[in-house]
Amino acid sequence: MKHTLFLLVFALGMCSLNGSAQTKKSVSKTTTQTNVKQKNVSNVSKELKVEECGFEWYKVGKNGKWGAEDKNGKVLVPIEYGRIEYQCTSGTGFGFRVSNNGYDGYYSPKGECVIPCSRHYYTINADRNSSVGTYYWGRKKDGPLFFCNESGEEVCQIEGYSLAEPKYENGKFFWKICLNTSDKNHWCIMDGNGKQIFGPAEYIYCEVDGTVKGEFNGSYKRLGNLSAITTTTNPFAKTVKQGISYTSTSYSSSSSSSIASSNNNSSNGNSGNGTTQTVVVEHHRDPIPVQEWHACVGCGGMGTMGCDGCGGSGTKYIGDRLHRCSRCNGRGIIPCNVCFGNKGQYTTVYR
């Protein structure tokens, strides 16, 4: 009996020991798995972006900084910027616009740094038109507009104007300028030397044959012809030297009728300078050119877009206080950075 009781107690003791060992083993395993999981935790976030032009990329972030990778994991933009976005329009992409410490920079879709933030450009936009191709423009911290060619080289500055669009048509280079003013006639055309040639008008455009027309109280009047412009070199060509600068001193606020009259006389006076024939010959390479109006795809023809500085609210928090947005001056909207507020543009098509 004592022998039987001893065996029973021994068996129970062994079972107790085995149970304790199994429990300790399970706890040890769980602890090990938790430690491994913590070691593998990464604070890098990835978000797949699919743009309207079809471009796909990953927005990657870490510690409040952002960068970009392609779908294969190749680094396109290093994770070192406070803001990043991909800009595209009309089914074509321009690249990555980045920002650091209040200054913008630009990377190509292949990850090449076209414009570094170290240039201290306050804002950068990429744009493209049929005459000069792709170019970059924006505003510097001290106010003037800057323009860079497709390689990112700064070719000129324009001071005193709110919007400017480069044009190279009929062998002539010129600027279509918009000046912020209380006067509704605030559009003009300036040549490549900074001289005002046509305008001001409520709106101004060029027809296929080189005729320049301005809008006045809902009707269009002929202001002259592009043959009055003497600048023929496209400064956005890669071979052109940098350093061109324009100011608003040539802008005239004279009445529209007197400007239109003087520009007509100027055009007639320049008709014998040997450029008119060249313009006609170059233009008529295609016998059936047609000018069409295309609404801006960026703003849908509105001419404005929501302010990206305040999200369209007109105000933003700086520290712990609400301030009026300095980018839009509290309006919540800014001119469209695709069409410069033009609502669209005339383009030449051949049928």
Highest-pLDDT range among 53-57, 278-282, 301-305, 325-329: 53-57
Between CA 178 and CA 200 the distance in angstroms is: 9
CB atoms within 10 A of CB 166: 23
Residue 221's pLDDT band, with cuts at 50, 70 and 90, is very high
Span 196-224, average pLDDT:
91
* pLDDT score for 307: 83
Give the per-residue pLDDT at 311: 73
Give residue 6's pLDDT band: very low, low, confident or very high (50, 70, 90): low
**71, 77, 83, 85 alpha-carbon torsion, rounded to 10°:** -50
pLDDT surpasses 90 at 152: yes
pLDDT reported for residue 108: 94
The first and second tokens of residue 59, run together, are 């927005």
Dist. CA 301–CA 49, nearest whole Å: 26
Confidence (pLDDT) at 131: 81
Spatial contact of 177 and 190, defined as CB atoms under 8 Å apart: yes
Helix (H) or strand (E) holding 4: helix 2-40
Lowest mean pLDDT: which of 257-261, 342-346, 347-351?
Answer: 257-261
110 or 298, greater pLDDT = 110
Which residue type does 130 have?
Answer: S
Q: Which residue has the tokens 């950068």?
A: 124
Q: Tell which wins on pLDDT, 219 or 9.
A: 219
Residue 132 pLDDT grade (very low, low, confident, very high; cuts 50, 70, 90): confident
pTM exceeds 0.85 for this model? no
- Say how far apart CA 239 and CA 126 lie, in whole Å: 20
Quick: pLDDT tens for 227-279: 999 999 888 876 444 445 555 444 444 333 333 333 334 334 433 433 333 22
Sheet with 56-62, strands from edge to edge, namely 45-50, 56-62, 65-69, 75-81
Average pLDDT over residues 146-167: 88
pLDDT the model gives residue 181: 67
The answer to whether residues 148 and 135 touch, using CB atoms and an 8 Å cutoff, is: yes
> What's the confidence (pLDDT) of residue 4?
53
φ, ψ dihedrals at 254, nearest 5°: -65, 170
For residue 323, is pLDDT > 70? Answer: yes
Residue 198 structure tokens: 């046509």
Domain boundaries, the chain: 43-119, 142-285, 286-351
Cis omega (within 30 of 0) for bond into 109: no
- Which of 42-51, 89-98, 134-143, 272-281 bottoms out in mean pLDDT, i.e. has the lowest? 272-281
| Residue 44 pLDDT level (bands cut at 50, 70, 90) | confident
Mean pLDDT of the chain: 74
* pLDDT score, position 10: 55
DSSP annotation of 303 reads S
Q: What single letter denotes the amino acid at residue 104?
A: D
Burial class from Cβ neighbours inside 10 Å (0-12, 13-18, 19+) for residue 223 reads: buried
With a pLDDT cut of 90, the percent of the chain lying above it is 31
User: What pLDDT sits at residue 21?
Assistant: 42
Of 8 and 96, the structure prediction assigns the larger pLDDT to: 96
Structure confidence by residue, pLDDT tens digits, 121-131: 988 999 888 78
Instruction: Report the alpha-carbon distance of residue 65 to residue 78 in Å, rounded.
Output: 9
Start-to-end C-alpha separation, the chain: 115
Q: Report the range out of 23-37, 106-120, 251-265 with the highest average pLDDT.
A: 106-120
